[in-house]
Structure 1
């Protein structure tokens, strides 16, 4: 396959089309604007539909409705735009409807800055919506990986009937790299959704209803138990990470996304100075790859350095939880648009 030199946001948008996404609704906000701009032209070319909603709130509910009839659907946003989508995200999770959400993170809180940051980590991994819901969260570190993970995100969303967040940032979104696009999916080979979509009926005289309200308390608890079992399955089967120069490492850096790219360069420099450094790079940040840290030989590791573009630290709490005081953990932080 030929390689193309493509901007991160546009590459992710094309990857979504090739994965079978045929509906996008969104609203402009920097630095993700090229995603809806690209899809406004590209989706009609493949028989899809693009809508610029009157707001982020309207856009996420359009995704909810279109997903309920079985069409692969996506939205994207940045910063405060994601805050406005949280109610719709929890509706998607509560109704067990698949969708993909691309977060091109910017500095915060609130309106904050349009420059790159990693301050959406806790939002994406811990509280993407009220009610204790979780989203499956990928965190790519280069444009090729962003393409591959957006492409796969639709399969994960369908497999688990759950929204998937692809957590990027403004640096990755605006970066141009040579990539190879995956093949265009044949829509006839996508997963069959006839067991839950609204366009089918369980009986001839009864229409289906997709909702998140449970009038009976025991039913609500059972829904929560089912939800928790799904998340436990992710933790058991879906943890992903990259190990970099870990075999003899005495200092372990942990970083994701753009920061991990910078950490690799730092590790190469440290190695030239005789310092044995390595890295664990989470690829899924929910489920967080605790197994990677449990594999470490803590008898030889001096400390772990958690690096992220967030002040205060956010991923640190996941690292601290899985390390369980087996070695000291220090932070290297930046934020507000200052790249590590």
Structure 2
């Protein structure tokens, strides 16, 4: 299959269409605007529906309705817009409805800037909605990986009857790279016999709801959901390791676009005779804890590189359980780390630890 040069946002939209997305609901916000723009132009050609909702709150509730009818459904937004969707996302998780949510994140907090950022890690992995809910959160480091993960996200959502979150910063959304659209790994997907599609007088009505006034019943529902989340932890962890088999003196860790910066920093360090490795979480949740627990004894420290004031570093520290000192190199507000600055930070750390 030949590759085609595409902007990240448009490639994400095309990947969703090729994955069978038949309903898209969104609202404009930079830097993800090319996704709804592309969908508005292309969805009708493929038998799908595009609606520009009156707000992000309306968009996520439209997702609830369409996905509740068993249709493959997606929404996208950028950071403040995703914040507005959180109530709807927890309803969707509580009602066990599959859908895909794409966040092309920007600088914050508040309205912040339209520049790329990684300040949405918490919202992707913890969720801003109420209650005990989880969703798989995937973080691509290239446009090709964004395409692959978006296509597979629909299958993951259908397998677990759960929303799936794809977190790509604004740089992934706006840059251009060659991509190809490959069929995702085959999964055995359950029938959507739960969907609200009309009974046709052949069955009892399907009721989709996240309300349970009896606390005993709600507890049982939460335990059932947790069973699904444990299956996700077992099956959906994704991680890339780089140079970890070369007895690194320091381990860099980052996700998304900053992992590419980290690899360049490792090359700089190698030229100066310093061995460094990289752990790149691809699934932000479930988090690849095992990769951190298997860091070689040669490592003296871990450095988390983030386009934020440090959010993933909390999960890194949890995974390490005090095994190694952990440091942060963070550039918030839409600033991107530079390889030389990362390398300098790594050298400074190695100079201060024994």
Classify the TM-score, shorter chain: over 0.9
Q: What TM-score comes out, normalization by structure 2 length?
A: 0.91
**Among residues 199, 210, 213, which one is paired with 2:211 in the alignment?**
213
Q: Secondary structure at the match of 2:85?
A: helix
Contact 1:194 1:200 survives alignment (8 Å): no
- What do the CA deviations read for 1:61-91 (whole angstroms, capped 9, x no partner)? 1111000111100000001101110111011
Q: Deviations over 1:221-258 (max 9, x none)?
A: 01111122222222222211001111121210000001
Aligned pairs (5 A) from 1:116-195: 116-182=116-182, 191=189, 193-195=191-193
What SS does the aligned partner of 1:212 have?
coil
* Match status 1:295 vs 2:294: yes
Q: Which is worse superposed, 165-174 or 204-213?
A: 204-213
| Counterpart for residue 63 of structure 2 | 63
Aligned length: 335
**2: CA distance between counterparts of 1:142 and 1:152?**
15
What are the within-5 Å matches in structure 2 for residues 1-150 of structure 1? 1-150=1-150
Between the aligned partners of 1:257 and 1:200, the Cα distance in structure 2 is 42
Q: How far did residue 108 of structure 1 move?
A: 0.4
Quick check: 167-176 or 230-239, which moved more? 230-239
* C-alpha separation in 2, matches of 1:126 and 1:72: 24
Shift of 1:276: 0.2
Shift of 1:141: 0.3
On the 8 A contact 1:68/1:97 being kept in 2, the answer is yes
- Quote the Cα distance in structure 2 between the aligned partners of 1:282 and 1:70: 31
* Root-mean-square deviation over aligned CA pairs: 1.8
TM-score by length of 1: 0.95
Aligned pairs for 1:248-267 within 5 A: 248=246, 249-267=248-266
Q: How far apart are the structure 1 equivalents of 2:250 and 2:260?
A: 17
Tell me by how many angstroms 1:195 deviates: 2.1
Q: Distance in 2 between matches of 1:256 and 1:79?
A: 17
For the 8 Å contact 1:105–1:168, the answer to whether it is kept is: yes
> In 1, Cα distance between the equivalents of 2:165 and 2:27?
17
Give distance in 1, aligned partners of 2:256 and 2:200: 44
- After TM superposition, which residue ranges in structure 1, 4 or more long, deviate above 3 angstroms? 189-194, 200-206
Contact 2:152-2:184 within 8 A present in 1 as well? no
Q: Alignment partner of 1:257: what SS?
A: coil
Q: Report the 3-state secondary structure (helix = DSSP H, G, I; strand = E; otherwise coil) of the residue aligned with 1:75.
A: strand
How many Å apart are 1:203 and its aligned residue?
Answer: 7.5
The answer to whether 1:230 aligns with 2:216 is: no
Query: Which moved further from structure 2: 153-162 or 235-244?
Result: 235-244
Compared with structure 1, are the counterparts of its residues 90 and 202 closer, same or farther at alpha carbon in structure 2 (3 Å cutoff)? Answer: farther
Q: Is the 8 A contact 2:151 2:184 kept in 1?
A: no
Unaligned runs of 5+ in 1: none
Pair 1:324-2:321 in alignment: yes
Q: Distance in 2 between matches of 1:224 and 1:246?
A: 38
Q: Secondary structure at the match of 2:257?
A: helix
**Cα drift, residue 302 of structure 1:** 0.8
Query: 1:71 and 1:238, CA in 2 relative to 1: closer, same or farther beyond 3 A?
Result: same
Is the contact between residue 103 and residue 168 of structure 1 (CA under 8 Å) also seen in structure 2? Answer: yes
Distance in 2 of aligned mates of 1:90 and 1:53 = 19
Distance 1:24 1:137, change over 3 A: same
In 2, the alpha carbon distance for the partners of 1:190 and 1:229 equals 18
SS at match of 1:127: coil
